[in-house]
Amino acid sequence: MSGEQAITRPARASWFSVLRTEARILLFRAEEAELVGLGHGHLALGLLCTWLVGMGRYWDHPRASLLQHLGVGSVVYVFVFSAFFYGMLRPLRPERWSYGHLLTFVSLTAPPAVLYAIPVERFFALDMARGINAWFLACVASWRVALLFSYLRLYAKLSGGVRLVSLLLPLALIVAALALLNLDRAVFDVMTGVPEDGGTAGDAAYGVLTLVTVLSVVLSPVLLGLYSGAIVYRRRSLTANPPVPPS
């Protein structure tokens, strides 16, 4: 068996190996072979982490529903987001692309969301706590988007420009859709714990939300045009240089 075939058919990983791979992914140290080797054990760990941070998000929320306390929404989210992201990028014909593998990776990016479980309201004034929660949201979102960008480079083998468009377009469409449905503020309140009447820090956070929303709505048509061009570019590139099957 060749070295490449050995990578594409990995042996069942031990839990120590699974945890090690998870740590390396979160620290941006994972290599291509480690991503190729993601399997059922990694998915189980990812869903467990997603479930735990989902419960942590609402553990001290007085108005959370039972399903929110149970972390069900976060688990459902990774399935839905992965399906949407998978469908959006499939026309670009990445070198490797499967829903199961993408779902596994997305679930493994859940641990940074443990920041949401920190009860900052108990240690700081309410206005300060709102600002801290907003910064937590920004840090977690940036971290997970950067991890996806790395995944598209190492695993899907998308080139720089195509990779950037394929990452930004789905995110921009999600934000734009929430804005059109008038759900952007509601989602933001849930993510950060900042209520509608939220004071100075809340106002600043909503200012950033408004900026991101406007940029998403304005840039979505531009990104759609670039996305269409990227599809044509990828098809021509793969026609001129078809991938070599493993020997």
Distance between CA atoms of residues 138 and 128, nearest Å: 16
**Is the sign of the CA dihedral 104, 105, 111, 115 positive or negative?**
negative
Percentage of the chain exceeding pLDDT 90: 47
pTM: 0.82
| pLDDT tens readout for residues 128-164 | 777 777 788 888 889 999 999 999 999 999 988 999 9
* 160 alpha carbon, distance to own chain's centre: 18
3-state secondary structure of 97: coil
Split at pLDDT 50, 70, 90, the class of 182 is low
Higher-confidence residue of 179 and 236: namely: 236
pLDDT bucket at 38, cuts 50 / 70 / 90:
very high
What are the structural domain ranges in the chain? 3-240
